[in-house]
Amino acid sequence: MEQFKLFLELGLTHVLDINGYDHVLFLMVLAAPYLFSNWKKILLLVTVFTVGHTLSLILAAFEVVSVKSSLVEFLIPVTIGVAAVYNIITAGKNQTNDKVGVLFFTTLFFGVIHGLGFSNYFRMIIGRSEEKIVPLLEFALGIEIAQVLIVVAMLILATLFQTFLRVTRKDWVLVVSSIVIGLIIPMLLER
């Protein structure tokens, strides 16, 4: 039970850590185009992101893959930027009937990239332990819970802004995505 709590909390803090806000930025742009009525689609995307994140951690834990951390640290803000630019390009277009398709695979790929950014640290925590899968799954559960909390907060904010302040859905997506782009530019320049 101690180990479960440890890795669950590690997953939660990995996403919610103020110093590692890149995860939150990605979730902001991922959730920006959606409303509560689209909860199944956004939940699917969040879970796909977690699966990609966990897959890369599994590959790193079993030493199947090793990537230069400097490359991954650069690619993380790139993935956030790509998602934000996609939102800006598609803002105002009715996408609720679109199939998940490209967005599904893009989110999975972005999850893999973000997981690789944490893989060295996670490999160090797990060490040479025989049991790697259970801690990875416990960690993934913590990530999923934290991500769902962030997405719910984004959906609440979207509802408040669009209902009470009469901000259009298009403007909401444009503003959120533009703010995120403004926040990742310094990340890109320093990496």
Per-residue pLDDT, 3: 82
Per-residue b/e over 115-150, b at no fewer than 16 CB within 10 Å? bbbbbeebbeebeeeeebeebbbbbbbbbbebbbeb
Please give the Cα distance from 173 to 167 (Å, whole number): 10
Please give the Cα distance from 83 to 114 (Å, whole number): 13
Amino acid letter for position 71 = L
Inform me whether the pLDDT recorded for 5 exceeds 80: yes
Please give the Cα distance from 6 to 12 (Å, whole number): 10
Range 154-180 average pLDDT:
94
Q: Which two tokens stand for residue 89?
A: 């390009």
- pLDDT tens string 103-121: 888 899 999 998 888 887 7
Range 24-53 average pLDDT:
92
Delimit the domains of the chain by residue range: 2-190
